[in-house]
Amino acid sequence: MFTQSIKRITTKRFQHAAASTPKQSPIPFTNKYHFNLNPPPIHEYWNIYNSSVLFAFIPVFLTISYFAKDLGIGLEGNNGLLDFANSEQSPLKSIKFGESQTIPSKE
């Protein structure tokens, strides 16, 4: 019973929507900006072009990572960064939070 009433309401709704739209003649299309009206299918572009670029750059990525690994062997990592930050002799390190800076006088 319930499904029959739903079907009746939906068919009336769709019939009303189809009847209310006026029939228009198609507007002629002028290719003023020379668009490509027959582009290649998108799946061919992604499969052929992008995969060939990816496969061409895999050896480049591998060589860069190999040399970056060799360059990074001598670095200390996070401890080296912390040592550098602690050894820095910046005047801002001596200022406590909330205190104002002293302005040097020009004499």
Q: Are 87 and 81 in contact (CB under 8 A)?
A: no
* Residue 48 structural domain: 40-71
Within-domain flag for 95: no
Within-domain flag for 61: yes
- Residue found by looking up tokens 């200390």 in the block: 76
- Residue found by looking up tokens 């910046």 in the block: 90
Within-domain flag for 53: yes
pTM above 0.85, yes or no: no
Within-domain flag for 60: yes
Counts of helices then strands in the chain (DSSP H, E): 4, 0
* Structural domains of the chain, count: 1
29-65 residue pLDDT tens: 889 998 888 877 777 667 777 788 888 899 999 999 9
Alpha helices, DSSP H, located in the chain: 2-20, 42-44, 51-71, 78-87
* pLDDT above 70: residue 107: no
Within-domain flag for 82: no
Within-domain flag for 79: no
- For residue 62, give the amino acid letter: L
